[in-house]
Structure 1
Amino acid sequence: MTGPSTPYNPPTRPIPVIYRDDHLLVVDKPEGLLSVPGRGDHLADCVLSRLAVKYPEVLLCHRLDRDTSGIMIFALTKEGQRKIGRMFEVKRIKKRYIARVWGEVVEEKGTIDLPLIVDWPNRPLQHVNHETGKPAVTDWQRMAREDGTTRMKLMPRTGRSHQLRVHMQQLGHPILGDPFYADGAAQDFPRMMLHAEGLKFEHPITGQVMRLEAPCPF
């Protein structure tokens, strides 16, 4: 398994801003870039540190895995951060991902309900554990079958670490290019084919319904 030893070579291209107001900053995170700093100076470069150069007041609201691209919400005020954080906790933010997975999925749609917890001997990997795992639920829809792979729309109801990656593996269709949960030919792709495409939520200050998207790059 190559994941834990994969060198950190983050992309240098600018981070696109999707939306900004006095309280929120929404960006399109590139794949290969950490959301927050890792341990050690070699892992200091991240979305948060890059945004802080232009927006010193920027505050973290949630994370995406290093190898996942797509839409991320940051706050520009403490009030915005507190309210967005609470909305994630009570599941009032609807998330939509696009993934390409190994194999041709037969069913049109379904729901995966498998509890997850960290696999301590192999951390940061997660695994299914029906005794100690935390609830994790993912709705999915098949979009298209493409040359032995399938394009999927994934709508997580919960936000566990590596949830979509483990759930797709458990479905028998790991995400292409996943350094942790795919193997063999399924791992041999230039990037992990998982992208956070859309968010729907009420603005934490104004109450306006926000529907924001970051176009899928694959």
Structure 2
Amino acid sequence: MATLSIYSPPPDTGLQIVFADASLIVVDKPAGLLSVPGRGADKQDCLALRVQREYPDALIVHRLDMSTSGLLLLARGELMQSQLSRLFRERQVDKRYIAVVAGLLAEETGEIDLPLICDWPNRPRQIVDFDQGKSSQTKFRRQSQDPQAGTTRVELEPITGRTHQLRVHMAALGHPILGDDLYGGSATAAAERLLLHAMDLAFIHPLTAVPMRFHRRPPF
């Protein structure tokens, strides 16, 4: 099993609430904070528990990697959790991320279609496996390039929602995300944090049928 570093969550300086009503909450999660409690007493501090201190009925709907920052959706109550989870299951939620990757990405747009599976001896790492992996697709759009630094800023749109999908797909493409301590290789030391941010979140409100669109600029 892969060795995990000591969990050191960012200080609790208050929630970055983007939106809240009687049904749901959208919050901007800081990098370095777990979405839900991990295993062990030292990994209980997480976004879900911080939100529940202010909204006791808040329940997690989806997760972001600990190292990823950005928009996270929580439901208020079990019924809304079920309805919002269904939207994710049926791919009725539009999610877009921004990342800075190593190298100059040649293609302006494209789609990565590589099946993923957990690398059990080295979990939580995921690997590409064409025999047993689960179907996984990510669309990408090149935003800008820095030839001097040898990096590309890219917008990522996950079609599926596999664990570490964006990180593995970009690494497999030969352009790992800067600061990625699992898949970055030499790009790991290129940034102090994982340069991956959940920038856009859009869905239809299950109760009001109003289109909901949220945007949070990346902090990098």
TM range (shorter): over 0.9
Q: Give yes or no for contact 1:23–1:76 (8 Å, CA) kept in 2.
A: yes
Tell me the CA shift for residue 77 of structure 1: 2.1
3-state SS of paired residue (1:141): strand
Residue 206 (structure 2) pairs with residue 207 (structure 1): no
Q: Give yes or no for contact 1:15–1:30 (8 Å, CA) kept in 2.
A: no
3-state SS of paired residue (1:88): helix
| Aligned position for 1:166 | 168
- In structure 2, what is the Cα distance between the partners aligned to 1:29 and 1:107? 30
Q: Give yes or no for contact 1:70–1:195 (8 Å, CA) kept in 2.
A: yes
Residue 8 (structure 2) pairs with residue 6 (structure 1): no
One-letter code of the match for 2:21? Answer: D
| Aligned position for 1:101 | 101
Q: CA RMSD in A?
A: 1.1
Tell me the CA shift for residue 184 of structure 1: 2.1
Q: Give yes or no for contact 1:105–1:173 (8 Å, CA) kept in 2.
A: yes
- In structure 2, what is the Cα distance between the partners aligned to 1:194 and 1:188? 13
Q: Give yes or no for contact 1:70–1:197 (8 Å, CA) kept in 2.
A: yes
Q: Give yes or no for contact 1:114–1:136 (8 Å, CA) kept in 2.
A: yes
- In structure 1, what is the Cα distance between the partners aligned to 2:143 and 2:189? 21
- In structure 1, what is the Cα distance between the partners aligned to 2:25 and 2:186? 39
Identity of aligned residues (%): 48
Q: Deviations over 1:58-80 (max 9, x none)?
A: 11100000000000000012221
Do the aligned partners of residues 185 and 161 (structure 1) sit closer, same or farther apart at CA in structure 2, a change above 3 Å counting?
closer
| Aligned position for 2:196 | 194
| Aligned position for 2:154 | 152
Which runs of no fewer than 5 residues in structure 2 stay unpaired? none
Residue 52 (structure 2) pairs with residue 44 (structure 1): no
- In structure 2, what is the Cα distance between the partners aligned to 1:46 and 1:108? 36
Q: Deviations over 1:102-160 (max 9, x none)?
A: 01111111000001010011110001111111110000000000221000000010000
Q: Deviations over 1:26-67 (max 9, x none)?
A: 000000000000011100000011111111111110000000
One-letter code of the match for 2:73? Answer: I
Tell me the CA shift for residue 186 of structure 1: 4.1
One-letter code of the match for 1:188? Answer: A
- In structure 2, what is the Cα distance between the partners aligned to 1:68 and 1:28? 10
Tell me the CA shift for residue 189 of structure 1: 1.3
Compute the TM-score of the two structures, normalised by the length of structure 1: 0.96
Do the aligned partners of residues 102 and 56 (structure 1) sit closer, same or farther apart at CA in structure 2, a change above 3 Å counting?
same
Tell me the CA shift for residue 205 of structure 1: 1.0
1:1-218 matched pairs, under 5 angstroms = 4-12=3-11, 13-146=13-146, 147-218=149-220
Q: Give yes or no for contact 2:180–2:187 (8 Å, CA) kept in 1.
A: no
3-state SS of paired residue (1:50): helix
Tell me the CA shift for residue 213 of structure 1: 1.2
Q: Give yes or no for contact 1:16–1:29 (8 Å, CA) kept in 2.
A: yes
- In structure 2, what is the Cα distance between the partners aligned to 1:132 and 1:162? 17
Compute the TM-score of the two structures, normalised by the length of structure 2: 0.95
- In structure 1, what is the Cα distance between the partners aligned to 2:54 and 2:188? 38
Which runs of no fewer than 5 residues in structure 1 stay unpaired? none
3-state SS of paired residue (1:96): strand
Q: Give yes or no for contact 1:102–1:186 (8 Å, CA) kept in 2.
A: no
Tell me the CA shift for residue 211 of structure 1: 0.6
